[in-house]
Structure 1
Amino acid sequence: MRISANNIDKNNLPMNESSLFISDINDALMLQLKAGNAKNIARYFATNVTLSILSEDGQYSKFQAEMLLESFFSKNKPGAVKLIQKITNKTNYSYYVYQLTSNKNLFRVFVKISSAKSTQAIEEFRVEKQASK
């Protein structure tokens, strides 16, 4: 019997196994945002991350940021995620903007990623409530 990546539910695999099927950090973020998995998103956080989630705003450790994101997901169960904008340039930064639909609201998620020495880390993560259309 042949097993292909198309037959595997990547959302239910542990991070290390699911990452075998993920081509870049954008794919990983989309999967983990949709799953509402703060722990796996936090694996990409830099040691200290600028985090803004609705009224919470500041510079946090990786662990603190994970706890705040977990709290957000517990109150706003994700339903769908869509990539709105991706900006990569010759600098060491990439920027992603997602639209996150939850059971209660529509959110805009902004992520700033630094790339250095073949590693990527989230330096800034913002979640803002978006007006419904």
Structure 2
Amino acid sequence: MKEFAIKYFLIIIISGFCLSNSHAQSESLFADVRSALKAGSSKELSQYFHDNIELNIDGESGNYSNVHAEIYLKEFFKKHEPISFEYAHRGGSPQGLNYAIGNYVHSEGTYVVLIRAKEFNGKQKIYIIDFNEE
């Protein structure tokens, strides 16, 4: 019985560490993404993309390699230079799926941005990003 209790305790400790590590990665990812969006830097932002990413801008959606998504967003940022970007809400699941909703303000209006990330090979990566004009 004592051996079972020790194994159970170790499983709880290891699980807590893994969840804590995933949460810390998510915090870092979303802080860096906020900086990239504020700066309008597709290059900086694309560092956090999975190899393939779903990109949706005003209903125009497609699956892109991270390189093509960077080019697409570079054009978007040229047309809609950022004034500010702030998160309105962030959340996640115990399974490691994380999301953030923010407001991307540019000179002609605002886009609501939905970012979804999950763990790939031990690192949090963005796999979907949506820009919808308000």
Pick the TM interval, shorter chain: 0.7 to 0.9
The size of the alignment, in residue pairs, is: 108
- Residue 85 of structure 2 corresponds to which residue in structure 1? 81
Select the structure that is richer in helix. 2
- Residue 9 of structure 1 corresponds to which residue in structure 2? none
Structure 1: give runs of 5+ residues left out of the alignment: 1-22
Q: Percent of aligned pairs with the same residue?
A: 23
TM-score by length of 1: 0.77
- Residue 68 of structure 2 corresponds to which residue in structure 1? 64
1:115 aligns with 2:119: yes
Whole-angstrom distance in 1 between the partners of 2:125 and 2:54: 12
Please say if residues 92 and 116 of structure 1, whose CA atoms lie closer than 8 Å, have aligned partners that are also in contact: no
- Which residue identity lines up with residue 81 of structure 1 in the other structure? F
1:50 aligns with 2:83: no
Whole-angstrom distance in 2 between the partners of 1:87 and 1:81: 17
Whole-angstrom distance in 2 between the partners of 1:88 and 1:123: 14
1:96 aligns with 2:104: no
Whole-angstrom distance in 2 between the partners of 1:30 and 1:78: 12
Larger Rg: 2
- In the TM superposition, 1:20-35 aligns within 5 A as 24-35=28-39
Whole-angstrom distance in 1 between the partners of 2:56 and 2:33: 17
Whole-angstrom distance in 2 between the partners of 1:55 and 1:89: 26
Deviation at 1:54?
2.0
Pick from 44, 48, 57 the counterpart of residue 40 of structure 1.
44
1:129 aligns with 2:133: yes
- Across the aligned residues of Structure 1 and Structure 2, the Cα RMSD in angstroms comes to 1.2
Whole-angstrom distance in 2 between the partners of 1:116 and 1:73: 27
Q: Greater RCO between the two (CA within 8 Å, min separation 6)?
A: 2
